Amino acid sequence: MKCLSPMEVPLKPGRSLMDWIRLTKSGKDLTGLKGRLIEVTEEELAKHNKTDDCWICIRGLVYNVTPYMEYHPGGEGELMKAAGADGTDLFDQVHRWVNYESMLKECLVGRMALKPIALPKESTSALSEEKKCLNGMLPESKIVGTSKSLAPSYDWFQTDCSVTVVVYTKQKGMNSEMVILDYEDSRLRGEIIIRDYSYLLNIELSNAVQEDIAVHVAEKVGKVEIVLKKIDNIPWKKLGQPLESHNSFIKRTDQGLYYRKCKLISKTDVTHDTKLFCLLLPQSTHFQVPVGQHVYLKQIVTGKEIVKPYTPVSCSLQTHFKEPSCHDGACLFLMIKIYPSGLFSSELDRLQIGDYIYVSNPEGSFQKSQVQTLEDLFLLAAGTGFTPMIKLLNYVLTNVNSLWTVKLMFFNKTEDDILWRDQLEQLILQDKRFEAQFILSEPSKEWNGKRGKISSSLLSEFFKRSKQDSKVLICICGSAPFTEQGERFLKDLGYCKEEIHSFTA
Overall average pLDDT of the 478-484 stretch: 93
Choice among 34-38, 201-205, 266-270, 414-418 with the minimum mean pLDDT: 34-38
Q: Is the pLDDT of residue 281 over 70?
A: yes
Q: Which residues contact 426 (CB under 8 A, 6 or more apart)?
A: 317, 318
Q: Can you tell me the mean pLDDT for 244-261?
A: 90
Which residues, including other chains, have CB under 8 Å from residue 66's CB and lie 6 or more apart?
32, 51, 52, 53, 54
List CB contacts of 188: < 8 A, sequence separation 6 or more: 165, 181, 182, 201, 202, 203, 204, 205, 226, 228, 240
pLDDT over 70 at 4, yes or no: no
pLDDT the model gives residue 489: 96
Beta strands in 206-360 (DSSP E): 214-218, 223-229, 240-242, 248-251, 259-269, 274-280, 295-301, 304-310, 312-313, 331-337, 356-360
How many other C-beta atoms lie within 10 A of the C-beta of residue 73?
A: 16
Lowest mean pLDDT among 20-24, 83-87, 135-139: 135-139
> pTM (2 decimals)?
0.74
Q: What is the reported pLDDT for 134?
A: 52
Task: State yes or no: pLDDT of 7 exceeds 60.
Answer: no
**Confidence label for 149 from pLDDT (cuts 50, 70 and 90):** low
pLDDT at 75: 84
Can you give the pLDDT at residue 16? Answer: 85
Domains within the chain, CATH numbers bracketed:
17-112 (3.10.120.10), 153-254 (2.60.40.790), 259-363 (2.40.30.10), 368-502 (3.40.50.80)
| Residue 256: predicted pLDDT | 82
- What is the arithmetic mean of pLDDT over 92-104? 75
State how far the Cα of 426 lies from the Cα of 35, in Å rounded to an integer: 62
pLDDT of 99 higher than 90? no
pLDDT-derived band at 255, boundaries 50, 70, 90: confident
Half-sphere exposure of 312 toward its Cβ, with a 13 Å CA cutoff?
A: 25
Report whether pLDDT(130) > 70.
Answer: no
Distance between CA atoms of 91 and 78, rounded to whole angstroms? Answer: 10
Q: What is the pLDDT of residues 175-190, one digit of tens each?
A: 999 999 999 999 999 9
The yes-or-no verdict on residue 2 having pLDDT over 60 is no
Q: How many alpha carbons lie under 13 Å from residue 75 in its C-beta half-sphere?
A: 8
Residue 100, pLDDT score: 79
With cut-offs at 50, 70 and 90, classify the pLDDT of residue 126: very low
pLDDT at residue 316 above 60? yes
How far from chain centre, in Å, is Cα 89?
17
Model pLDDT for residues 395-442, shown as the tens digit of each residue? 999 999 999 999 999 999 999 999 999 999 999 999 999 999 999 999
Higher-pLDDT residue of 172 and 278 is: 278
Residue 22's pLDDT is what?
86
Residue 467 or residue 73, greater confidence: 467
Cα separation of 237 and 93, whole Å? 44
Nearby residues of 114 by Cβ (< 8 Å), 6 or more positions away: none
Query: Are 247 and 200 in contact, with CB atoms under 8 Å apart?
Result: yes
Whether residue 376 has pLDDT greater than 90 = yes
Q: Which pLDDT score, from 0 to 100, does residue 329 have?
A: 55
